[in-house]
Structure 1
Amino acid sequence: MAKRPRTRTFDIASYVGVHASRNEHYSPQLAHGDYTIAWICALPLELAASRAMLDELHLLLPNLDHDDNVYVLGRIYQHNVVMACLGQYGANNAAIVATNLKRSFPNIRATLMVGIGGGSPSQADLFLGDVIVGTRVMQYDMGKMIAGGLFQETADAKTPALLLNSAVSALRSKHGPDRSSSRMTSLIRSRLPNILRPSHPDHLFQASYEHHLLGALICIGYDLEKLQPRGVRFSDEPRIHYGVIASGNRVMKDGKARDEIAQRLSALCFEMEAAGMMDNLQCLPIRGICDYSDSQSEEE
């Protein structure tokens, strides 16, 4: 996954524009109990993009005491949706945000955890921009040290609630075997016209290849002879994959470790928040692949 900053000093509300502007129409203010769907992001940029998916924006509601979350309120189709952004990264903070959201919006029936993740290309025909819908979440770094210095995982698989699993099953049957997302891509392009697919090559390197930096920041280039052979995808349309998401408290940037854990768990991607969310809300994690969880991951 992409490297994330260690401190969070930005103003989330200003970044995503949660306050009304002259060019936007807001519906009359609703009540906390009117919202039934939660949409949570880790990065402010993710929340800004998610905000554009709303069919209608709602006026903000006052936060309850001791709830420091920043919310975006609106409607998608017939559903009233509350969006929130994490103040810090990781499972622990995700759990805090989820707890406060659930307390402030008591009628939430389902939660989407939407953002980026690091892909595990050994488990599927993954390309950058593809989308992973998590049917199970495994916290791969929870366990204990046993004899011989070996690490034994103790975490159980966490699955979305029946309501969300049923919705995922319906979605899978609707998309069919090609798993394309052309309709959603068209919607995103219409609402975010300035968002373009990056022009740089989608390179996947061998898991054993380590990209070294000169000092701490300067890239000395890639060895293209270490590229991993794979099939060609002729369409730029992202594909949707369904399966296990591996969640941990550290960014995965090691190709060998990625493949070992992915093979053991059948994981399609790595991220840092879903495990902390699953115990507090009826959560469905959805991740867009931004890198391949190796040392070539972009630093921006």
Structure 2
Amino acid sequence: MLAAAHGRNGCEGKGNELAAGVIPFPNPCDAFGRSVREEDDEEALRWAAIEKLPTYDRMRKGILTGAAAGVEEVDIQGLGMQERKNHIERLVRIAEEDNERFLLKLRDRMERVGIDSPTIEVRFENLNIDAEAYVGNRGVPTMTNFFSNKVMDVLNAMHIVSSGKRSVSILHDISGVIRPGRMSLLLGPPGSGKTSLLLALAGKLDSNLKHDVHVGEMTVRETLAFSARCQGVGTRYDMLTELSRREKEANIKPDPDVDVYMKAISVEGQESVVTDYILKILGLEICVDTMVGDSMIRGISGGQKKRVTTGEMLVGPAKALFYSLSLLLHKML
């Protein structure tokens, strides 16, 4: 009886509210839940449509979340500057806190389908490096020695006199192994051959090779973008194609933001995405439009130049990086 009376009173109360023209407000939580479900459904439908595309087209399509339209299907090669900036901001808002989490997402995506990150093991055995150089007073960098050595080089090329250079052993019978996935520190006193060893391991000892230098008139962003275009994407596209194939077979849907990033850095013409990412994690966003500068042009600070030099290597697909402070300083000058 009480239940019946309660139900009757409740109905009467509701009827009175409707009769009085009072419309009850919907529950905000229900509206938010419906919005999230609708967005997830739309994202699933768009992803299903992308999965049906041929491999070439599938590698150039992605889903951007958090856009003005909610969920948006985008052409990777058509990403604008603001879209790239917003995308990197979602992935790595604070470099010191979010970068490790983002890198773990990249690794976890590959490990879920049984793909290991590419690694390189560096081995060197019985490495010897010799050089011919002036010794004693002839090796002092003075104006007199400079012109004298130039004249001697010309006469030596004409087989008139000997050059006066002596053979100097820089490294003798050096062997070692650098394991993959490790950061190794090379220590030694000045003049012990540390830079020569790094140059040898990087294949940069050939005297016919050209040296990279900073163009002072280029901005920080232009410098990194130019380096990214020169180095290309390497094997990223092939690896992403295999990753996408395995995910499709296992019916695995990747994180949309991670998927867009990996596709952007794997497609020719979108090297600016990895450039924006490196600028973010190296803290160079405050000087992206500042000229690098040189001895004649005022530019960024010395510490920023070191980070720019580091960024020039990181924007490429290289799997092994050899750093030498003397080389960094040489490229800065």
TM-score, normalised on structure 2?
0.19
With CA pairs under 8 Å and 6+ residues apart, which has the higher RCO, 1 or 2?
A: 1
Greater helix content: 2
Which structure has the highest strand share of the two? 1
| TM-score normalised over the length of structure 1 | 0.21
Greater Rg over alpha carbons, structure? 2
